[in-house]
Amino acid sequence: MLKGYKYRIYPNKEQQIKMNQFFGCCRFVYNKCIEWYSNAYKSWKENGNDIGKTPLLTEFKKEYEFLKECDNAALAYSRSNFERAIKDFIKSKNGKRKGKRLGFPQFKSKHKSKMTYKTCDAHGGIRFIDNSHIKLPKMGLVKCIKHRDFNGIIKAVTVEMKPSGKYYISVMVECNNNSQSYVNKLNNKNNLNVVGLDMSLSDFVISSHEEDNTIIKYVRNYRKNEKHLSKLQRKLSRKEKGSKNRMKSKRRLAILHEKIVNQRKDFITKTAIYFARKYDVIVLEDINLQNMSRTLHLGKSVNDLGFGEFRTILEQKCEEYDTTIIYANKWYPSSKMCSSCGSINKSLRLSDREWVCTECGTLLYRDLNAAINLEQYFLINYNTAGTAEINACGDNVTTLRSFVMQVLSMKQEAPSFMWV
């Protein structure tokens, strides 16, 4: 299993200049590859000539000698990124790629593109020294704060400079999954611990187990700092373009944006780890977050909560802790169905946060009722007996257990990568 660990680094002035040169060289190679492909494509269209293969790095280095000073692995990654972008573009054009249709790869701008490059660990060239420094190819020892250890082999490192001026490294490590296997979870428990999670704009996420809802309390970081952001944005707009005061104001704004992003990601990661460790099966709604932010005029709230990022991180953590995620059918009426009797309230509106069932008279809270229905969705669809009864030997195999074992076998076959 591949995991990613992120650390902050503190390069000196010489190392900062060299890193900025590496950023520029990788961007230069990517743009040159796009220029070559566009010319080859025009030649193929006009004269029928073969497009051929992407030029090798040796050809670029003969023409542009400043590329010899850059890390060769970083340039190779930049070239492979271009080839991947072209393949995705062709697949999208032919209708063989899922998701949004992609256009032709664009040139990377010096001012707008991310300042980053990736390099690999060739012959043990990348390693930590005394938890205070990291050795990088053609960079030497760089001061680093290794705030957490890992057990595994370093495969690659990505160096990045944020708009705030801070430098970070992301270390890709190959390690074994030491968490308890799902088979042991099944054998050690009489019943599977199942939870339904409903996305909520007011409370971020509502669990079908009420004790979880008292623990998880989300602070709207963007809304909280919105006035401060607008104030800094107004100050930035008044500064003269190209002046040092404008650069200072731009950096203050970038620092605040980075703080909001880090606060949101910290909360989302801790919440995902909490549910992945505690439960065996997690049931979520299969909702289209992009359409949700567009149609309901809730784009700012949806983006502030980070539902998409939460689902991505939750999937990664569930894979690490051997927890199964199930997405309920998007047409499943989790909010409109009564969790007590199963009747459906067709006249329920989005503004109705509480409602009384006309069949059984139960007072229902909309989000909590939806979370309970999601938990019942799993029990109904994947376990015909209601709950899985497993004896000490594990002989009584139910529909639920066979389903879980099937999911587990698919997990072991597929390669995985996660950020922690």
Shared-domain flag, residues 270 and 154: no
Instruction: Please give the pLDDT value at position 134.
Output: 92
**pLDDT value at position 383?**
56
**For residue 66, is it within any domain?**
yes
229 in any annotated domain: no
Instruction: Please report whether residue 250 resides in a domain.
Output: no
What residues make up the domain containing 298?
Answer: 182-218+264-414
Q: Is residue 233 part of a domain?
A: no
Same domain as 382, residue 288: yes
- Residue 254 domain flag: no
Q: Is 209 in the same domain as 78?
A: no
Given a cut of 70, the residues of the chain with pLDDT beneath it are: 177-191, 291-299, 382-420
**What is the 3-class SS of the chain, one letter each residue?**
CEEEEEEEEECCHHHHHHHHHHHHHHHHHHHHHHHHHHHHHHHHHHHCCCCCCCCCHHHHHHHCHHHHHCCHHHHHHHHHHHHHHHHHHHHHHCCCCCCCCCCCCCCCCCCCCCEEEEEECCCCCCEEECCCEEEECCCEEEEEECCCCCCCEEEEEEEEECCCCCEEEEEEEECCCCCCCHHHHHHHCCCCCEEEEEEECCCEEEECCHHHHHHCCCCCHHHHCHHHHHHHHHHHHHCCCCCHHHHHHHHHHHHHHHHHHHHHHHHHHHHHHHHHHHCCEEEEECCCHHHHHHHCCCHHHHHHHCHHHHHHHHHHHHHHCCCEEEEECCCCCCCCECCCCCCECCCCCCCCCEEECCCCCCEEEHHHHHHHHHHHHHHHHHCCCCCCCCCCCCCCCCHHHHHHHHHHHHHHHCCCEEEC
Residue 419 falls inside a structural domain: no
pLDDT of residue 411: 43
**Domain end (from 174, 198, 227):** 174
Structurally, how many domains does the chain consist of? 2
Are 200 and 153 contained in the same domain? no
Q: Is residue 245 part of a domain?
A: no
Q: Are 207 and 353 in the same domain?
A: yes
pTM of the entire predicted model: 0.76
Same domain, 287 and 200: yes
Tell me whether residue 278 is in a domain. yes
Give a three-class secondary structure readout of 265-301. Answer: HHHHHHHHHHHHHHCCEEEEECCCHHHHHHHCCCHHH
Do 93 and 201 belong together in one domain? no
pLDDT of amino acid 21:
93
Domain match, 307 and 406 both: yes
Q: Are residues 356 and 308 part of one domain?
A: yes
Last residue of a domain, one of 174, 209, 243: 174
Residues 325 and 377 in one domain: yes
Same-domain pairing of 275 and 375: yes
174, 204, 239 - which closes a domain: 174
Q: Are residues 109 and 165 in the same domain?
A: yes
